[in-house]
């Protein structure tokens, strides 16, 4: 108990953080240890290179986009609070937490998880996945394994299926609708062991 509290005390505004994200004290400590381990030079914040040093992330086809999700446009640093808030998207949905009508939406709600995934596609953040953006993601995930024509036909078909208002782009609502049957909670959640 003594050691737990003193680590928590070192983190500023930790109470607010726990309330906003829903992480338990033990989880916050574990994430803090991980943050410090990634922050090799002890600067108190992470930069894109610190993420790039994680080998398994470097071999992930969309690794760069995932790293980009941590940094707001124009910012090159992530502090611990932002780090935890982004990771909070992947907390499993609390099934037994009662839905209060006036409370702000939880970070790990189904909708917010979908928004996180949406921004991986929508890099210019205009609220729509254009054909071009879709092609870019496909190229990232498939590399040199497929030809340009194959990519284009895949993109065309995907947009055709999902684009309901025929504007040749996929808005967030269309994105959400096309994935309404997918078990988002399971597939976009990470369970902490303790």
Partner 1 sequence: MEGAWEIAFVLFQVWLSIVVGLIVLPAMFGVSLGFTDIYIKVLVKTLEVKAFLLLCLVSFQIHNVLSGIIEKDDGSMEEEIGELRRSHPKNLAGGDFTMCDAFYFCKKGIENIVEDQVTQRFTSEELASWNLLTRTNNNFRYISVRLTIIWGLGVFIRYCILLPLRITLAVIGLSWLVIGTTLVGLLPSCNAKNWLSDLVHITCYRICARGLSATIRYHNKENRPKKGGICVANHTSPIDIVILANDGCYAMVGQVHGGLMGVIQRSIVRSCPHVWFERSEMKDRHAVAKRLKDHIADKTKLPILIFPEGTCINNTSVMMFKKGSFEIGGTIYPVAIKYDPQFGDAFWNSAKYNMVSYLLRMMTSWAIVCNVWYLPPMTRQDGEDAVQFANRVKSAIAHQGGLVDLSWDGGLKREKVKESFKEEQQKMYSSMIVGSDFHEASVGPA
Among positions 132-171, residues that touch partner 1 (CB under 8 A) are 137-138, 141-147, 149-150, 153-154, 156-158, 161-162, 170
DSSP assignment of 62-130 equals: THHHHHHTTS-TT---B-HHHHHHHHHTTSPP-TTS---TTSPPPTTSHHHHHHHHHHHH-TT-SSEEE
- Measured distance CA(176)–CA(161) in Å, rounded: 13
Is 117 a binding residue for partner 1 by CB under 8 A? The answer is yes
From 17, 121, 122, 133, residue interacting with partner 1 (rule: CB under 8 A): 121
From 44, 54, 173, 177, residue interacting with partner 1 (rule: CB under 8 A): 54
Between 106 and 188, name the residue whose CB sits nearer to partner 1: 188
Between 105 and 190, name the residue whose CB sits nearer to partner 1: 190
Site string for partner 1, 8-27 (x = CB under 8 A): --------------------
How many binding residues for partner 1 (CB under 8 A)? 64
> What's the closest the beta carbon of residue 102 comes to partner 1, in angstroms?
30
Between 23 and 101, name the residue whose CB sits nearer to partner 1: 23
Q: How far is CA 62 from the centre of its chain?
A: 12
Give pairs for 129-133: CB < 8 Å, separation 24+. Answer: 129/169, 129/170, 129/171, 129/175, 130/168, 130/169, 131/155, 131/156, 131/159, 131/168, 131/169
Give pairs for 29-38: CB < 8 Å, separation 24+. Answer: 29/4, 30/192, 31/80, 31/83, 31/84, 31/87, 32/7, 32/80, 35/80, 35/83
- Measured distance CA(11)–CA(186) in Å, rounded: 30
Question: Which of the stretches 15-23, 93-101, 103-111, 179-187 binds partner 1 when contact is defined by CB under 8 A?
Answer: 179-187
Between 30 and 85, name the residue whose CB sits nearer to partner 1: 30
Is 4 a binding residue for partner 1 by CB under 8 A? The answer is yes
> Which residue ranges make up the site for partner 1 (CB under 8 A)?
1-4, 6-7, 30-31, 34, 37, 51-63, 66, 87, 90, 116-117, 120-121, 137-138, 141-147, 149-150, 153-154, 156-158, 161-162, 170, 175, 178-179, 181-184, 187-194
């Amino acid at each position: 108990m003594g050691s737990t509290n003193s680590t928590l005390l070192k983190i500023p505004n930790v109470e607010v953080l726990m309330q906003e994200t829903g992480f338990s004290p033990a989880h916050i400590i574990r994430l803090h240890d991980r943050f410090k381990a990634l922050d090799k030079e002890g600067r108190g914040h992470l930069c894109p290179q610190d993420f790039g040093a994680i080998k398994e992330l470097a071999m992930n086809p969309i690794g760069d986009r995932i790293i980009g999700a941590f940094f707001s446009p124009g910012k090159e640093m992530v502090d611990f609070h932002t780090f935890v808030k982004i990771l909070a998207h992947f907390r499993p949905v609390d099934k037994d937490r009662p839905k209060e009508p006036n409370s702000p939406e939880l970070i790990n709600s189904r909708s917010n998880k979908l928004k996180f995934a949406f921004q991986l596609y929508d890099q210019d953040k205009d609220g729509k996945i254009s054909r071009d953006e879709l092609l870019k993601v496909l190229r990232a995930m498939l590399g040199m394994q497929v030809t340009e024509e194959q990519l284009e036909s895949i993109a065309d078909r995907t947009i055709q299926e999902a684009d309901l208002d025929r504007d040749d782009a996929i808005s967030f609502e269309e994105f959400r609708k096309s994935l309404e049957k997918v078990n988002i909670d399971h597939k976009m959640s990470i369970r902490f062991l303790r």
